[in-house]
Structure 1
Amino acid sequence: MELIEAVVTADGVGTVSAGGEAVQVAGPGDLATARAAVLGAANDAVRESGKAHRLEITDQGQRHVFAVHPDGSRVPLADDASADTPSPTPAETPTVAPAEQPKVLEEVPTDAALLGSAVTPVPEAEPTITIPPRPTLPPKPGDDAAVLPAPTRRSLRQTSFLKADAEVPPAATGVRGLLGLVGIKVAPSAAELALLEDIRVVARHHPGTRTVLVANRKGGSNKTPTEVCLSAVFGSYGGGGVVAWDNNENQGTLGWRTEAGLSEASVLDLLRDEERLLLPSAGHGAIAGYVHHQTDDMYDVLRSDENDEGDHEISAGEVHRVHAILERYYRLILIDSGNTLRAANFRAAAEHADQLVVPTTTMEDRAEAAKLTLQTLESRDEHSAELAANAVVIISQWKPEDKAEAQRMAEQFAPLVRAVQIVPYDPALKAGRIRYKALRPATRRAWLAAAAAVGRGL
């Protein structure tokens, strides 16, 4: 019988080991939490393996020994490693002589989900006896009635010697992942399964280019951080092929919050060399001189014109031309809309959009502007109304204490759109260059969930 060893120390540290390598599963903290953690980890390991284990717990120097079964039952054993392990049956309930009765762990939680049947074992089902069929005798010579039909030949196309991949990989994070490091394979938790599904969605490559429009008619509504973080998630998990385009009428701020490339190129340079970039002979790397690659997060930025003395405003026709160039080189295009829904460049960008993202902060005027953006698109034309109905609203907390306000706004937006995602406050998003990998873990997880919501609409 395989052995699981657990130790609970006086300062509330709980460790579990299998195969000689210990993993800390709790503490420092209170004793009850540590005991619950080691028992829960042992139960998970035994249930996953499908066979009984010997569990030896040393609790503040006192040793307790159990036989733990996959059904969750635990039977106290004599403190003797050579003793036979009892197997619970209906006719025989294991007992221990009073002199050998192990001491019960103090303060261990008594809920049924954790302890199961700690003293009374669950009886095993009676074995099922299967009688094999009688063998078919070969036909006797001359006995035509006994001739067996020839076996049906299976198609070669229906046969494969390749093993199918496991549908669900073992846990890789949290306490379950730590158990895997010592050889105890445990299924992922619900949170880890959700994480894996979100990654699968954002890593997907679609046939043909997809376009995402990031729009809110109010400045300061977090459009630039939203476009940057979504681009970083799709670029990092999808292996690149993503461009963030600052489609302001004149000057935008996307270039201020992202890494500069080797040149000062902007959308005007791209338009100037449109013919060369669309030549059939142009290689994929031809676009590199016109965009600014983000080396950490694996996406490119197409900047708006940042010439303070310039007077060029992007027209609808130029938006169509830029989009035609970008879809030649990228699988996913994210467009910052600017702040004027009436502008020709905004209307042209909306024509190309497959998915609308409406960002806002927890400031009420930004949220009201987000609602009005949806309202305007809903009444504009059939395509814009479909974008509004299937939009994803992303609410970023403006201050750390805005959790309740963010939740209130999310509940109001939920009936109006396809999905709503809250992003927690993170000082790294407030100013300066945005690096997705430098954000807090909770913030990165929220942006991954937001990108997955967007991806499900593509």
Structure 2
Amino acid sequence: MGLNPTEVLAFPRIRAIVRDNGTADVVVAGNSRTVAPAGSLQQLRENALALVVGEAKTLNRAVRVAIDDSEGHGELIVSPDGSKESVTYTPKPAQRRAAAPTTTAAPVAAAVIETLPVEPAQPQTDTANTTATTGTTMTPVTATAPAVEEAPTRRSLKETSFLVSAPVLEPATQGWRGTLTRLGLRMDPSAGEMAEREDIRTVSQHWPGPRTIAVVNRKGGANKTPTVVMLSAILARYSGAATVAWDNNESQGTLGWRTENGSHDRSVLDLIDASTELLSPSTNAAEIAKFVHHQTADKFDVLRSDENEEGDHEVTAEEVDIAHQVLTRYYRLVVMDSGNTARAANWRRMIDHTNQLVVPVTAVEDRAEAARLTLQTLESRGGHDAELARNAVVIVSESTDAKRSMSGESLKRAKDEAQRIADGFAPFVRAVVRIPYDPALVNGPIRYEALQPATQRAWLAAAASVAAGF
């Protein structure tokens, strides 16, 4: 058959059980199928494997089957054409039989009879195989216990189930495998498609209670706002959880510039002013729409920072507490953009409310250094702040500089620099994800659908790394 055993999927789980009493079962994903009876154990094994071949034909691929019978146990790979290949096999140890008359014992008994005087045997009451002794005379007694026919065993209903315990693997949808599937030849997904499915499963989870993500870097231009938008879009799209992106800049941030504007111009300060009403048990959940800007395509809301041209108000720690209390009443996910001052009161209070820290950085050394100092500051504070730093997700983007000429050579330099920075952060944080250059992230409102497929896939991996920390 020539198959590499590591390439044969281990699901659905299949077992073939052959018993000494002439019964056998093939169990596929917890569903037991009785094997047709046969005149010998060998024929019973053949009948069991025939059922496994049928399962391989149904799946149109080779399958693994665990074998368990009186002679041993192991694993086979069975192909749809009926060919079989052994992976492992361990024979069961021979069982020691109880002492009983054998053919080799007869000559010994005969020798005893020939060398000793024989007297008539005395009546025996013991039905066991013994040798009667009277003085110096020994008479062998060969009474044999009648054979007891083994009663047929009946399986317990606890040993089987009609429910399929293993998930059914959906066929491939991507690449040439997906093309063949659509043409009627069912193909398993590639490793890349399986990894993408796992990332989607991770970001689609629901969890008890709200979660707050803080996106931080002390240096401007580090890609904080695009990171907030992308994480919010992906988590909202896949999980269906109510998600809000909050611009927690101490004065005026740019999140509102990179997202869709609603039918009003309200900001976080308006939400804080209306917090008593919004926190009232009698207030309808839809009232929050008066203060946030809904992203119609990407399905999340945006709470903008104060856009007062005078810039005469800086958000305080107490105001962060109030706004966070309101938002976590109406949303399951809060993704917070931040300013560049780690010493600001609103920045530090944001960290107090954070469940998962995200540190974006572009492939420029001063942005990377600012990210390192941000993590170092949090780690030096100890406690909750240090724990956030150790479990942070660093997202390295290759470039967001619109003025840079992205020729083939410059793209390679950007990739190499991004890899160097990613490798530098890897030993100190929980996860590092790289994002390729994409012009759709450089200027104007950011839309998930406007990204290139490779960029969308990279951001999905980044969102999965973040969600894994919830």
TM norm. shorter chain > 0.5: yes
Cα offset, 1:187, TM superposition = 1.2
**Structure 1 residues 150 and 167, CA gap change in structure 2 (3 angstroms):** closer
Structure 2 Cα separation of the partners of residues 124 and 253 of structure 1? 62
Q: Where does residue 448 of structure 1 map in the other structure?
A: 460
Q: Structure 2: which amino acid aligns with 1:381?
A: G
Q: Where does residue 417 of structure 1 map in the other structure?
A: 429
Cα deviation 1:357-383 (Å, max 9, x = unaligned)? 000101111010000000000001311
RMSD over aligned CA atoms reads 2.9
After TM superposition, the structure 1 = structure 2 runs for residues 29-428 of structure 1, keeping only pairs within 5 Å, are 49-50=60-61, 154=157, 163=164, 166-398=167-399, 400=406, 401=411, 402-428=414-440
SS in 2 for 1:336: strand
Q: Structure 1: which amino acid aligns with 2:450?
A: A
**Structure 1 residues 124 and 202, CA gap change in structure 2 (3 angstroms):** closer
TM-score, normalization by structure 2: 0.65
SS in 1 for 2:306: coil
Structure 2 Cα separation of the partners of residues 263 and 164 of structure 1? 51
Cα deviation 1:28-76 (Å, max 9, x = unaligned)? xxxxxxxxxxxxxxxxx9995148xxxxxxxxxxxxxxxxxx869xxxx
Structure 2 Cα separation of the partners of residues 440 and 175 of structure 1? 20
**Structure 1 residues 375 and 150, CA gap change in structure 2 (3 angstroms):** closer
Structure 1 Cα separation of the partners of residues 270 and 160 of structure 2? 56
Contact conserved, 1:47 with 1:71, CA < 8 A, in 2?
no
Q: Where does residue 451 of structure 2 map in the other structure?
A: 439
- Which structure would you say has the larger Rg? 2
Structure 1 Cα separation of the partners of residues 347 and 254 of structure 2? 16
Cα offset, 1:437, TM superposition = 1.1
**Structure 1 residues 150 and 417, CA gap change in structure 2 (3 angstroms):** closer
Contact conserved, 2:262 with 2:292, CA < 8 A, in 1?
yes
Contact conserved, 1:250 with 1:313, CA < 8 A, in 2?
yes
Cα offset, 1:343, TM superposition = 0.5
SS in 1 for 2:302: strand
- What runs of 5+ residues in structure 1 fail to find an aligned partner? 1-44, 52-69, 73-86, 89-121, 126-144
Contact conserved, 2:241 with 2:333, CA < 8 A, in 1?
no
Structure 1 Cα separation of the partners of residues 79 and 152 of structure 2? 47
Cα deviation 1:84-112 (Å, max 9, x = unaligned)? xxx99xxxxxxxxxxxxxxxxxxxxxxxx
Identity of aligned residues (%): 57
**Structure 1 residues 183 and 306, CA gap change in structure 2 (3 angstroms):** same
SS in 1 for 2:428: coil
**Structure 1 residues 172 and 307, CA gap change in structure 2 (3 angstroms):** same
Cα offset, 1:384, TM superposition = 0.5
Q: Structure 2: which amino acid aligns with 1:434?
A: I
SS in 2 for 1:211: strand
Runs of 4 or more consecutive aligned structure 1 residues displaced over 2 Å after TM superposition: 45-48, 122-125, 148-155, 158-168
Cα deviation 1:142-184 (Å, max 9, x = unaligned)? xxx99x89979858xx987555563422111111111111221
Contact conserved, 1:204 with 1:238, CA < 8 A, in 2?
yes
Structure 1 Cα separation of the partners of residues 297 and 211 of structure 2? 23
TM-score, normalization by structure 1: 0.67
Contact conserved, 2:206 with 2:241, CA < 8 A, in 1?
no
SS in 2 for 1:175: helix
SS in 2 for 1:184: coil
Structure 1 Cα separation of the partners of residues 153 and 84 of structure 2? 48
SS in 2 for 1:379: helix
Structure 1 Cα separation of the partners of residues 422 and 58 of structure 2? 39
Cα offset, 1:303, TM superposition = 0.2
Q: Structure 2: which amino acid aligns with 1:182?
A: L
Cα offset, 1:329, TM superposition = 0.6
Contact conserved, 1:240 with 1:298, CA < 8 A, in 2?
no
Structure 1 Cα separation of the partners of residues 440 and 284 of structure 2? 37
Structure 2 Cα separation of the partners of residues 311 and 124 of structure 1? 77
- What runs of 5+ residues in structure 2 fail to find an aligned partner? 1-55, 63-77, 87-147
SS in 1 for 2:269: helix
Structure 1 Cα separation of the partners of residues 371 and 199 of structure 2? 25
**Structure 1 residues 431 and 150, CA gap change in structure 2 (3 angstroms):** closer
Q: Where does residue 30 of structure 1 map in the other structure?
A: none
Contact conserved, 1:394 with 1:423, CA < 8 A, in 2?
yes
Structure 2 Cα separation of the partners of residues 253 and 242 of structure 1? 19
